[in-house]
Structure formats: C-alpha cells, structure tokens
Structure 1
Amino acid sequence: MRRTICWMGTALLLAACAAQPVKPPAPESYTAETTYAKLAARYPFIRIASRTVPPSVRAVTDVTYVRRRHGDLRHDLKLDLYLPAAAGTAPRAAIVFVHGGGWRAGVRANFAPMAIRMAERGYVAATISYRLSPEAPYPAAIHDAKAAVRWVRAHAPDYGIDPGRIAIAGGSAGGQIAALTGVTNGESRFDPDRGNVASDVQAIVNIDGLSDFTSEEARKYEDDPAKQPSSAGAWFGGRYAEKAALWRDASPLYHVKAGTPPMLFIVSAQRRFSLGRDEMTERLRALGVPNRVVPVPDTPHSFWLFDPWLAPTVEAADAFLKEVIPPRTDSPGLPPAA
C-alpha cells in the first residue's frame, strides 16, 4: 500500500507527486503499556494486569508450534504455555488465547495475565503469536490459530491436557479470529495443513471482537475511507466494495451451523467492537447452541489488559467453560507434565 504526496506550484500550475510506502505499525504498538498511556487519564484507577508467574503456575515459553515461510525466510511461530505447577489427578481443559491489535499489531504477552489466572484455576493456557497482516493477509491468521490448536492437542499427554476439552479465546481482532477458528470446525478450506478434526475446538470465548464485518454499522468503522487502509482493509487486501466476499467470509456470523461450539461473548461498553453479536446469538439460540453474553460495565475496549477488569473477565470465562466443557468422568488420570 502506498501513499501519494503532492505539491502544487500555483504559478506554474504544475504538480509533483512522490509515492512513499506506508509503514505498517510495529507489533509492539498495541500492548498493555501503550494502551494504558491512552486510557489512564480517563480511568485513573486502572493498573496493568501483572504478568508475574506465581509459584502455583509453571510457564513453558518460546515453544515453536508451526513453521511458516515468508518469502525466502522461515518464520517460527511461538506460543507460551501456563499450567498448574501441581500434578493433577485428571487431564485438564486447555484454552488457546489469540491476542488483538487490529490484525496488524499486538503481541502474545498481552494475554499472559489472563492465561496465568486461568492456569491458577486449573486450566492449561497457551498464548500464541500468529502472522499479522503486514506479513500475510486473511486467512493466514486463521490457519495459524488452527495450527496452534493442533499443537496443543498433539501434545496433550505431555502437559496433562484433555484433548476433548480445548477452547479458543481472544480479544478484539483476536476475538474475531478465535470465533472464526471455532465456528469453522470441520471446514477443510480453513485448515489446509492437516486434518480438520485435530484443529476442532469445543468452546469459544470472544472478548470484544467483531462477529460481522459486513453490516452497515460495522463498515462505518472498518471501511472508513479516511483510513488508507483501515485495519480490516489491510487484512483483506482491499475495501468492502473490492473484497466483499472476503469481508463476509471472515465474519463468524455467517458460519454458524448445527454443531457450532458453545460461545461466550464478554463485551465492553463500546458497542462498535462487538457488532454482529446480537444476530449471532439469535442464530445460536435457534440452533440450540449454548451461548452467553457477559458485559463488563463502564469499560473501554481492551479492558481485559487491566485490573480491576481482568478479574470479572476471568470469572466469566471460567464459569462458562466449567459449564460447557466440564471434566469427563470417564477420563483416566494423567501423570504430571515433564
């Protein structure tokens, strides 16, 4: 994508135009620290949620879950695991976290605080990196999220995970990615690398992420002509008028079907970030798919990065997952992770 800058000489009525590349944002442009700088004046009581790993949690970091090619270069995509330090008597549910950042920024450390707190409650939590839009357009991020689920399932015996109880969660753009990853269970075109059953999830947690890119209200923000390009436009490689099929294809709303995993929506007070949710819950209800909407009142977008809002977010996710993917009574116990 290029930006054109023009200088008009009024006397000569000549214009000289130079095209300059638009530099994409760095992944670190969306972190808890950069977001705190924007929110602290309005919400002086908030604090960045801690990433300190307590003694009750064990961290396994910088694990390569899939290798991708970017031109002539190899990109090893990484994840960090957080799991209870104490040995369990039965396999645990796992949850894969997908960070936000407008599909073109963000880091997996953004979900470390929530992953740690879920591990304290007995889950094995993975925070993942994935290919952002400056590296690879839609649907590369979906392929990566499914690859992460496959890795977690393949390594279930190593970390005491129940392979039949894997959830995917995300916030903002990561919420949309997580939702689309889950609602496309069994759709092989979204899972070109290996068998799609291995990448199926049993529950979805969408935290303030879009369910529909195509609605008029969503396009007001996501297809704003003043943004060259918008975050969504950069991911899809074009505006809605140019890439309407992709904008629809990436909308979780249009993939809801019988057998869609149970879904939890945790939402801020900023309606624009979860547009399409009402229509999606209607479809889920009509199909008998368990779903719940939990608002976190008086919150900005990205609320899950901060205390005191992380606690109710964790509580909502834990309560829902315990309900929809409870421990299996027929599961044998597993030895502690090595």
Structure 2
Amino acid sequence: MTFFKYSSVILFFLALASCKKDTSTANTVAAVNQTNIAYGTDPLQKMDIFLPADRTALTTKVIVTIHGGSWTSGDKKDLTGYIDSLKRRLPAYAIFNINYRLSAYPNNVFPAQENDVKAALDFIYSKSAEYLISDKYALVGVSAGAHLAMLQGFKYTSPVKPKVVASFSGPADLFEMYNHPAGGNSIISLALAQAVGNTPTQDSLLYATSSPVNFITSTSPPTILFYGGADPLVSVSQATEVQTKLVSAGVTNQYVFYPGAAHIGFWDNATMFDAFNKLQAFIETNVL
C-alpha cells in the first residue's frame, strides 16, 4: 500500500509539471510577417513588417530599411534580398521595410519623402506595445533611401533617436550633388532638380534642409557608410564629406570604400557579402 501511495503522489506531481510546461509553450510569442500595412492614406505609404518569435518590448531591437530609386522610382520589394540576409544574420530583430511617396514633378516633390519616413517611424513607435519592440532602432538605406535614412537619423530625435544609421551609396549634400554631379553628368543635376522640385538657386533653403550633412552634430548616431569608387551616380565626395563631419564631431563611424564598385545594386556577391558582414558587426556593436 505504501508503494502505491507514493507512486500516486509522484504521478500527480509529474502531471502537474507537464501541465505547467504546456502552459509555458502556449504563451510563447509567435513570429509575425505582415505585408502592405498602411501608415498613411496614400497607396505608397505602406510597409512590410517582420517580427521575430519570443520578442519583448524591453529587448527586441528594430531595423528600418528604406529603398532607393532616385526618389522617383523603386519599391520596398527591391530590398527582399537585404531583408532575407538581415533576418538570417540578426534573427532577434524586428524589421520594418517601408515604402514612401515617389516624387513625380510637380507632385510629391521634396520634402514628401522625408515626411513619409518620419511618419513611418511615428507609426512604428506608436505600435511599440502592440508589436513588442524596444526603442533601439537602426536605419538602413540604399541610394535615395540612404539619403532619407541619414536625414531622419541626423535631423530628428523623435519619435526615437536611432542607435545606428547605415548608408549604401547615399547622397548627403544636395548642393554638391547638383553643382558637381558624379562624372560631371548634367543629367544627374536635372534629375535631382526634378525630384526636389526646384534648383538650388530657386530654393536654396529646401536644398539645405534636405541635406543630411548639414545636421551632423556631436549627438548624431553612429554611422556606417558604404560607397563605390566607380559609382556613376553618387560621387565618393558625398561619403567623405559625411565622414569628415562625423569625425570632427566625435561621432562613431566607419567608412567602407570599394574602389572598383559602381552604384549599389550593381555590386557583386563578394562585395555585398563583405558589406553585410561589416553592417552586422556595426549594428551588433552599437545598437545597445
């Protein structure tokens, strides 16, 4: 009788432990993938959202990616490869891949794109409790998207001050880009004026307030820059001007220069692999 008595007690506690284990599993936060979530009323004001499993509002860090296309074209789907790589390399991060209104003179010219990035971040931050994400952000932009990432990161501290800004071939000084286009190509100047809506002579203030380099201070976020020496669209001087100001301001930065590389989007696999190794390391070091 004693044996059966103790066996019953043991079985009871084993069953209780099993129930507790099942309850814990049921409460695990699942991963979430959502596409075309609106953050505004325009059809282009949408984003794709990738939330990792087991996330918490205290620990889950955020990456916001911004596509390129000369501010006049492109789509968030262009960064599918970037998203896949970031998810493999930084699986605990929440990733938000955003679209923005495209400039089509005379509609949606500057600063519509800047305003959209700000609105997208406002939306993401307002959903922090719902999405279970922290206030530790990294902004990663490509070409025109890199310009917008730098502009947001250097110019604004709300709704959140990013921990890292990453620029792949991004313009930073629009005066310089207009007056001294890469390779002396005047078509670049014309395209820039179309996207902005005016030339620097017509609206010097808009060019100044749309140039990320003008907003670098000692409190700017750590910044990593990736540029190609054979880029026919964005001169290397755009990168060196940013780095010079970051260094002068005492801001943590890394300038990655690929001498034979063209504009981002035309880099070979080896260059991209190296760039993402460096991007991952920079994010892991500085998004704390």
TM-score bracket, normalised by the shorter chain, equals 0.7 to 0.9
Q: Distance in 2 between matches of 1:91 and 1:308?
A: 32
Query: Which of 262, 278, 298 is the matching residue for 2:260?
Result: 298
2:123 aligned with 1:128, yes or no? no
Q: Distance in 2 between matches of 1:95 and 1:160?
A: 14
Is the 2:67–2:74 Cα contact (8 Å) retained in structure 1?
yes
Instruction: Write the deviation string for residues 58-100 of structure 1: whole angstroms up to 9, x where unpaired.
Output: 53211112224xxxxxx4611012243x424762211111111
Residues paired across the two proteins, number:
252
Higher relative contact order (CA 8 A, sep 6+): 1
Q: Unmatched 5+ residue regions in structure 2? A: 1-29
Is the 2:228–2:262 Cα contact (8 Å) retained in structure 1?
yes
Offset of residue 144 of structure 1? 0.7
Offset of residue 263 of structure 1? 0.8
Please name the residue that 2:35 is paired with. 61
Distance change (3 Å), C-alpha of 1:99 and 1:76: closer
Please name the residue that 2:249 is paired with. 287
Task: Specify the code of the residue in structure 1 equivalent to 2:172.
Answer: S
Q: Distance in 1 between matches of 2:180 and 2:246?
A: 26
Q: Unmatched 5+ residue regions in structure 1? A: 1-55, 69-74, 187-196, 327-338
Is the 1:95–1:167 Cα contact (8 Å) retained in structure 2?
yes
Q: Distance in 1 between matches of 2:237 and 2:123?
A: 31
Task: Specify the code of the residue in structure 1 equivalent to 2:114.
Answer: I
Task: Specify the code of the residue in structure 1 equivalent to 2:196.
Answer: F
Runs of at least 4 residues off by over 6 Å: none
Instruction: Write the deviation string for residues 132-151 of structure 1: whole angstroms up to 9, x where unpaired.
Output: 11141111111111111122
More helix by share: 2
Larger radius of gyration, structure 1 or 2? 2
Please name the residue that 1:87 is paired with. 54
Distance change (3 Å), C-alpha of 1:130 and 1:76: closer
Distance change (3 Å), C-alpha of 1:154 and 1:133: same
Task: Write the mapping of 1:31-110 to structure 2, written as runs, cut at 5 A.
Answer: 59-68=33-42, 75=43, 77-84=45-52, 86-88=53-55, 91-110=59-78
2:197 aligned with 1:237, yes or no? yes
TM-score by length of 2: 0.78
Task: Specify the code of the residue in structure 2 equivalent to 1:153.
Answer: Y
Say which SS state the counterpart of residue 161 (structure 1) adopts.
Answer: coil
2:143 aligned with 1:183, yes or no? no
CA RMSD of aligned residues (A): 2.7
Query: Which of 202, 208, 226 is the matching residue for 1:266?
Result: 226
Query: Which of 144, 148, 153 is the matching residue for 1:173?
Result: 144
Q: Distance in 1 between matches of 2:139 and 2:276?
A: 14
Task: Write the mapping of 1:128-147 to structure 2, written as runs, cut at 5 A.
Answer: 128-134=98-104, 135-147=107-119
